[in-house]
Structure 1
Amino acid sequence: MTALPTDYLYPPPGGWTLADVRALPEKCRVEVLDGALIVNPSPLPIHQRIMRRLAAALEPALTPEWQLEVDVDVLLAEEPLDYVAPDVVVFAAEVPLTTRPIPAAAVLLAVEVVSKGSRREDRGSKPLAYAEAGVRHYWRLESQASGALAPVMHTYVLDTSTGAYAETGAHHGRFSSTVIGPVDIDLTALTR
């Protein structure tokens, strides 16, 4: 991770903007929620493994209108700025891979792999921001409360009448879905 220059230690008046984020060095791992900058450390190897294996399990199921990438920038809102990098993003196939950030309107699914430092954002402010931006599906993969390595997939769908997510399940062991195409994943294999 590249260190932020010292003039970025304090928020600009009025909060961070898209122009401010674009001015940062490309290797800075940052997100912005409600105009507030969040600096992210490099993920632990276990987080990377889970993310990589989950993406590999999901990608073959994609229907032709969708594509999948990991850790790409997504613009949810400009005022106040919500600029995030979900662990896995499924978005419209017509969006060029040279696009940064991916517009929220093109995103079907955002997936977060919860780590110790991202619990509050992944359980609270990020799903709120995804819902407000109209992202139709949000999945959160996290370890069980007991600390066991077998993750649990929490799935949500946007309720258009309320503008909030409705939980559709907490999946232990195996996870099946048809949101992006037929998916059946052994969740325990993601950590092995």
Structure 2
Amino acid sequence: MSIAPYPDWIRPPAGGYTAEDLDRLPDLPPHTELIDGSLIFVSPQTAFHMRTLRRLERALETAVPEGWDVWREMTVRLDRRNRPEPDLLVVDERGVTGPKQTFCDARDVLLAVEVVSEESQQRDRDTKPRKYAAAGIRHFWRVESDDDGRPVVYAYELDPATGYVVSGIYHKQLKVDQPFPVEIDLT
């Protein structure tokens, strides 16, 4: 039995990959992200991640204003070398180009949500928020598990001079007016 060779994309090109490369590389694992020109492969998710994501998605879908849509696990092109995949996005429907669309542009994103996993803590707490802010995404929620396995939402709003600033930390109930009114039971 012969072992198949590694795919060509295992060796990045000089200068790294570009946002457009994600659509051209054959047989990439699902949910592959691009950070600073490097391919990032996502580990299997936990029950906490799945349940929290489902709860947030349902609540956002009922609260999102007309003209906006909630997208789950879709990449967002921040710039030429960065195309991460937030867990949830609230996207301007005018940026939707059709059923074969594989990403959205940062200019069309109102809110990006990351549910933090153990393997993604550094990216979700530091790398991605800095990049989302630099790309002009106005609102960001980071969701982590407390000691009892319940979600805690850290809500941020973009300050154009300094990046994101905390607009609230929510333990039992997320109730915000920005980026639009929404109330979510976190218990």
* Fold agreement, TM-score > 0.5: yes
Distance of aligned partners of 1:121 and 1:75 in 2 relative to their CA distance in 1, 3 Å threshold: same
In the other structure, the counterpart of 2:181 is 182
The structural deviation recorded for 1:41 is: 2.4
Instruction: Name which of 103, 106, 113 aligns with 1:104.
Output: 106
The structural deviation recorded for 1:184 is: 1.2
The structural deviation recorded for 1:187 is: 0.8
The structural deviation recorded for 1:102 is: 0.3
The structural deviation recorded for 1:21 is: 1.5
Deviations 1:90-116 (A, max 9, x none): 010223253221010000000000111
More deviation in 65-74 or 44-53?
44-53
* Distance in 1, Cα, partners of 2:177 & 2:90: 13
In the other structure, the counterpart of 1:133 is 135
In the other structure, the counterpart of 1:54 is 56
More deviation in 98-107 or 12-21?
12-21
Which one-letter code corresponds to 1:174 in the other structure?
Q
In the other structure, the counterpart of 1:69 is 71
Percent of aligned pairs with the same amino acid = 38
Which one-letter code corresponds to 1:149 in the other structure?
G
In the other structure, the counterpart of 2:13 is 12
Q: SS of the counterpart of 1:82? A: coil
The structural deviation recorded for 1:11 is: 2.0
Counterpart contact for 2:19–2:79, Cα < 8 Å: no
In structure 1, the gaps of 5 or more residues are none
In the other structure, the counterpart of 2:23 is 22
Q: SS of the counterpart of 1:18? A: coil
Which one-letter code corresponds to 2:83 in the other structure?
Y
Which one-letter code corresponds to 2:19 in the other structure?
L
Q: SS of the counterpart of 2:165? A: strand
The structural deviation recorded for 1:131 is: 0.5
Given the two structures, how large is their TM-score scaled by the length of structure 2? Answer: 0.89
Q: SS of the counterpart of 2:95? A: coil
In structure 2, the gaps of 5 or more residues are none
More deviation in 4-13 or 89-98?
4-13
Given the two structures, how large is their TM-score scaled by the length of structure 1? Answer: 0.87
* Distance in 2, Cα, partners of 1:133 & 1:186: 30
Deviations 1:37-72 (A, max 9, x none): 211123223312211111001111111121111101
Distance of aligned partners of 1:32 and 1:48 in 2 relative to their CA distance in 1, 3 Å threshold: same
Cα RMSD, aligned residues only: 1.8
Aligned residues: 180
* Distance in 1, Cα, partners of 2:6 & 2:20: 16
More deviation in 40-49 or 151-160?
40-49
* Distance in 2, Cα, partners of 1:180 & 1:168: 11
Counterpart contact for 1:66–1:90, Cα < 8 Å: yes
Q: SS of the counterpart of 1:21? A: helix
More deviation in 32-41 or 151-160?
32-41
